[in-house]
Chain A
Amino acid sequence: MNGGAPDPRADPQDEVQWDAIVIGGSSGAIDALNVLLPALPAGLRAGVIVLLHLPCDRRSRLVEIFGYRCALPVQEAEDQQPILPGHVYFGPPGYHLLVDRGPRLALSIDPPVLFSRPSIDVLFQSAADGYGDRLLGVLLSGANEDGAEGLAAIYAAGGRTLVQAPDTAAMRTMPDAALARVPTAQPLTPDEIAAVFAQLPTEPLP
């Protein structure tokens, strides 16, 4: 190797170790998650935080849906819970979810942002503050523009940004808005994102 340090955003094959992966989506995102989450390898060195817009009057069933399909332990995020490598956390409905110092998860009932609580922007911006360039952000299908500002914050902090290719999304408003806001974000199909996940560094299994 010669020359300067490689830009982790430009080289997907680079052996960057992400400390965390944040995934956001809304309508149609479950279909993509069905492809993405089972691709996460056991022993993943990064913590994974997933935030979907859900009706707030219903209990989230995401843990039940994905729990047995993932190689990693899956749980609903609790306030002040440490973010551990190799764990998947789903944001609870009705609350904003943030990455706080620790790193820990924190909840808030601050007013909705872009009519959304939880807000993907709030999660992504706080994660960018906390993890800087050791963060991978993924934005999926959705029917509003939440997440675009958050993805921009991740990019600005040096993290890598992936967006579900709009043609593959049930609702393309969210990925379109993100690509307009962050033109350097990579549009990938769910299968391609899953392939990125499958190659992420892992701890040797005992």
Chain B
Amino acid sequence: MPTQNKAHIEDIEQRLLLDAIYHRFHYDFREYAQASLKRRLRAALTEFGCKTLSQLQDRVLHDPSVFTGLLQYLTVQVSDMFRDPSYFLALRNEVVPILRTYPSIKVWVAGCSTGEEVYSLAILLLEEGLLDRTLIYATDINPHALRAAEQGVFDLDRAAAFTANHAQAGGRSSLSDYYTARYGRVVFDKKLREHMVFSDHSLSTDSVFAEVHLVSCRNVLIYFERDLQNRALGLFHEALVHRGFLGLGSRESVRFSAQADGFDDFVLPDRIYRKKADL
């Protein structure tokens, strides 16, 4: 059937395009969930005026600026500050008391995108009196997203939702204490940024770079196929200190993964896990 062939050809083209991107730019999307990528690639076809993924592949290989644009389609996630407030409330009530026992604290936000969660965690730790001895590593594969995250600038019209989430997350202060609003933007306090390190890091191809007490990686694994999920969870397990914490998105789990035996449930409804004690 012609339409069946068309779908099959598109699958082949997608595989070839991802191969080309890997060999040319060393970004590895080959084990990403392919259906979501397909939607994004179809949107990119319109943007770049290409009829087929093969045409797009030609442009990507021969015009580096096209890849820069395509990367935005493939990777950028929209998040909110204190998204899923109950997650942050659980961190505050259950995890912070244990973090408090460490003389210095390291946190890894993996797949931080434009930084909403990084600032949320920094504010939470500041409110709990821990930020002064905390370093937050914020990593992503998209350099544009990282630069945006580093700026700590968000649209003013998002501030109301952020504020409501912050209050539901047990916020002990007013969110507006931490930003100044101007020209339709909110700019977060530079003091928060002194405790953040932004860095390019790929869960597909890079290895562990530090030992941390808490990994927060939310709604990133759902974009991966199972093997890559296992790889990422393996990195988190390796990066965590003895009895360190892992927070995932509300529909993500270690349960069916290769790391299922490496973690205990800690606050299960909020998908917070704790590294098992070494045997």
Contacts and interface: CB of A to CB of B under 8 A. Distances in A.
Interface of A: 78-81, 92, 94-96, 98-101, 106-111, 122, 125-126, 128-130, 132-133, 156-158
Given A79-B251, A100-B33, A110 B4 contact: no
B4 A106 contact: no
Interface of B: 1, 3-4, 7, 10, 33-36, 38-40, 77-78, 219, 221-223, 225-226, 229, 249-253, 256
B3 A78 contact: no
Contacts of B221: 79
A80 B225 contact: yes
Contacts of A158: 1, 3-4
B77 A109 contact: yes
B264 to A, nearest CB: 20
A111 B223 contact: no
Given A109-B77, A133-B4, A99 B35 contact: yes
A100 B252 contact: no
A129 B256 contact: no
Given A106-B36, A107-B251, A129 B219 contact: no
Contacts of A111: 78
A156 B3 contact: yes
A130 B72 CA distance: 25
Contacts of A133: 1, 3-4
A78 B256 contact: yes
Contacts of A100: 33-36, 225
Contacts of A132: 1, 3-4, 7
Which of A79, A92, A94, A125 lies at the interface centre, i.e. has the most chain B CB atoms within 10 A of its CB? A79
A92 B251 contact: yes
Contacts of A81: 256
A106 B123 CA distance: 32
Contact of A98 (B1, B33, B226): B33
Contact of B229 (A80, A110, A122): A80
Given A108-B223, A111-B78, A79 B252 contact: yes
Given A129-B7, A129-B10, 19 more contacts: A78-B251, A78-B256, A79-B221, A80-B226, A80-B229, A81-B256, A94-B250, A98-B35, A100-B34, A106-B33, A106-B36, A107-B251, A109-B222, A126-B39, A129-B35, A129-B38, A132-B1, A132-B3, A156-B3
A132 B40 CA distance: 20
Contacts of B39: 98, 110, 122, 125-126
20 contacts: A79-B251, A79-B252, A80-B229, A80-B256, A81-B256, A98-B33, A98-B35, A100-B36, A106-B33, A106-B35, A107-B222, A108-B36, A109-B77, A110-B36, A110-B39, A126-B35, A128-B7, A129-B35, A130-B35, A157-B3
B99 to A, nearest CB: 27
Nearest to A110: B36
A35 B243 CA distance: 50
Contacts of A157: 3-4, 7
Contacts of A110: 36, 39-40
Given A100-B33, A106-B33, A158-B4, A126 B222 contact: no
A17 B33 CA distance: 27
A29 B38 CA distance: 29
A108 B1 contact: no
A122 B229 CA distance: 23
B9 to A, nearest CB: 12
A100 B35 CA distance: 5
Nearest to A76: B251
A4 B225 CA distance: 40
A98 B42 CA distance: 15
Which of A106, A109, A122, A125 lies at the interface centre, i.e. has the most chain B CB atoms within 10 A of its CB? A109
A95 B251 contact: yes
A78 B222 contact: no
